[in-house]
Amino acid sequence: MSEAEGLRTESLAHRVPDLAALELLLAVARLGSLGAAAREVGITQPAASSRIRSMERQLGVALVDRSPRGSRLTDAGALVTDWARRVVEAAAAFDAGARALRDRRDSRLRVAASMTIAEYLLPGWLLALHAERPDTAVSLLAGNSAKVAELLLAGEADLGFVEGLTVPTGLDSTVIARDRLIVVTAPAHPWARRRRPLTAAELAATPLILRERGSGTRQVLDAALGGLARPLIELSSTTAVKASAVSGAGPSVLSELAVGEELGMRRLVSIPVEGVSLRRDLRAVWPTGHRPTGPARELLSLTRG
């Protein structure tokens, strides 16, 4: 807005009564009584009288004749009332439109989540959200942590969930859970018969079935091994990595959340490792300075339940 436009807007604001004053004037015209109009708009009669006098001073004309028999509009007041009605109707239309935009925003939720969270935690949270907000339509975009950040920063998601060691640039976050990566193999693998834990050097020297670079799981493993993890196969989903490990293709490193069933059924075996920290925080993320609102805020609260 130019300086001239700003001055015109400021001047107009001083010359035109506010909506509350115009609504009061319309009530006086309809009810024929300042007292009844005051009660309708929820203020005292002295406050209503003061508001009418202030509007008359602002416009420079008398609007209402007051008498013991009630209040009636002057000729100028009747004309101003016609104008006021149009302004109030336009304001009501504006409010209805803005409310419709808010309702449309609050009726949908776009969630971006890294794979482990999307596969093993998010379904339960979304069921709880549906119980609270059955009319909210949720779309889920699953990808690695880097993809989640990209979607949020492009305005294509309202709330994200990531698994890495760091918060992507441009995002704020809060820790919602903690997770641990474990080394797993099929029961027939030689590691399944070991009696002592693996060392970090042994793990780094062994080709592994891994998630792709950019995933939170890979970020944690690379950090733990000083960037020395050797991929036997790189796959873009936790389910695919797990299936390959179950098939006997080789050892893998996966979230403890992802392999509970396979460990319980002895389709995979957990291999202890010493001297390596494979713990990580799971985080909710959103663009810096834009705290989640509406259904995104409610989903965030459910993750902490």
pLDDT the model gives residue 7:
41
Give the model confidence (pLDDT) of 159-181 as tens digits.
999 987 888 889 999 999 889 99
- Residue 149 is predicted with a pLDDT of 92
pTM over 0.75: no
Round to whole Å and give the CA distance between 203 and 185.
12
Query: CATH code for 110-299?
Result: 3.40.190.290
CATH of domain 3-104: 1.10.10.10
pLDDT at 53: 92
Residues 6+ apart with CB under 8 A from 268: 184, 185, 186, 187, 242, 245, 246, 259, 262
Burial readout 274-286 (b: 16 or more C-beta within 10 A, e: otherwise) = eebebebbbbbbb
- Give the span between the Cα atoms of 103 and 129, in whole angstroms: 17
The tokens describing 23, both together, are 């609504």
The span from the CA of 163 to the CA of 216, in Å, is 5
64 — alpha (psi -120 to 50), left (phi > 0) or beta? beta
Q: Measured in whole angstroms, how far is the alpha carbon of residue 153 from the centre of its chain?
A: 12
With the CA atoms of 247, 253, 258 and 260 taken in that order, what torsion angle do they form, in degrees rounded to the nearest 10? 80
**Same fold across 3-104 and 110-299:** no
One digit per residue, the tens of pLDDT, for the chain of length 305 reads 454 444 444 555 667 888 899 999 999 889 988 889 999 999 999 999 999 999 999 889 999 988 777 788 898 888 999 888 988 888 887 776 666 556 555 578 999 998 888 888 898 999 899 888 888 888 898 888 889 999 999 999 999 999 878 888 899 999 998 899 999 999 999 999 988 999 999 999 999 999 888 788 888 888 888 877 888 999 988 889 999 999 999 999 998 988 988 999 999 999 999 988 888 889 999 999 999 988 999 999 999 75
Per the structure block, which two tokens stand in for 119? 């596969």
Domain segments of the chain: what residues? 3-104, 110-299
Tokens of 164: 């890495």
Instruction: Specify whether the CB–CB gap between 136 and 107 falls below 8 A.
Output: yes
Report pLDDT digits (tens) over 10-31: 555 667 888 899 999 999 889 9
Predicted local distance difference test score (pLDDT) of residue 106? 58
